[in-house]
Amino acid sequence: MGHIREHRSILAAGEKRLLIAIARQLPSWINSDHLTVLALTSMVAAGVAFAAIPSTPWSAAAFAAALGANWFGDSLDGTVARVRNQQRPRYGYYVDHVVDLAGTAALVGGMAASGLMSPAIAAAVIAAYFVVAAESFLATHSLGIFRISFAGVGPTELRILLAVGAFVVVFRPWVELAGVHVRLLDVSGAVATVGLTLAFVISAIRNGRALYAAEPIPRRDDTDRAA
């Protein structure tokens, strides 16, 4: 699948150099499929670890480690394929995003199961994420541009925020907001839902305008001549 990857997150440039260096040092028996499996299993492990935080606070460290393993697998599978000139564009694009969707669902499910985030907020977060993902996939197909980040935030930055949040919630699972005692992750989830919705609206408008400019309504005299 031919498309341009647009990655403009804060850490993107340095991360790209690091990933290429790691990919060149990996043993040949480790291929992109192995890394994709690691990305999925580590995200499921992250969800399980987060669910265990209330009963075993040290699970926050396991959660952060699982996110690190997910970064390693998810970020390197495509890099290894490109460095070794073993690209499988359609297969790689499809599998990578199926794994991302399944992994994110497992992660948010773990947050809801933990009791640190209400199921309603978790459902709103995952729904907003899926809407943004769907718009991104449509834009990639229609415009040939796959945007990986929004407002300087990409997957790596999100993993860092999640890892920090896991440690914070161990010590402060509840906060006072306008005099109301609420879960910290409910506040964070509501903010994330609004942010994702905003990202969807902005991206949909931008991509819709670009496509309209590229394919304006034909003038009637042009259609008559074509007929």
Sign of CA dihedral 34, 152, 203, 186: positive
Tell whether 199 is covered by a domain.
yes
Phi then psi for residue 52, to 5 deg, are -90, -5
Is residue 125 a part of any domain in this protein?
yes
Q: pLDDT for 114-149, tens place per residue? A: 999 999 999 999 999 999 999 999 999 999 988 888
Helix axis angle, 155-171 to 59-83, nearest 10°: 170
pLDDT at position 226 is 58
**Residue 175: is its pLDDT beyond 70?**
yes
Structure tokens at 141: 């197909």
Q: For the domain that residue 32 is a member of, what is the CATH number? A: 1.20.120.1760
| Any domain includes 100 | yes
In which domain, by residue range, is 94 found? Answer: 4-222
Do the domain assignments include residue 79?
A: yes
> Could you give the number of structural domains in the chain?
1
List 175's β-bridge partners, or say none.
Answer: 182
Average pLDDT of every residue of the chain = 93
Could you tell me if residue 227 is inside a domain?
Answer: no
Which pLDDT score is estimated for 225?
Answer: 62
- For residue 140, tell me if it sits in a domain: yes
Q: What is the pLDDT of residue 145?
A: 87
Q: Do the domain assignments include residue 138?
A: yes
The torsion defined by the Cα of 24, 32, 34 and 43, in degrees rounded to 10, comes to 100
Is the Cβ–Cβ distance between 4 and 145 less than 8 Å?
Answer: yes
pLDDT digits (tens, 9 = 90+) for 12-29: 999 999 999 999 999 999
- 190 dihedral zone (left: phi>0; alpha: psi -120 to 50; beta): alpha
User: Model's pTM, two decimal places?
Assistant: 0.91
Core vs surface per residue 151-164: b (16+ CB within 10 A) or e: eebbbbbebbebbe
Q: Does 120 reside within a domain?
A: yes
207 has a pLDDT exceeding 70:
yes
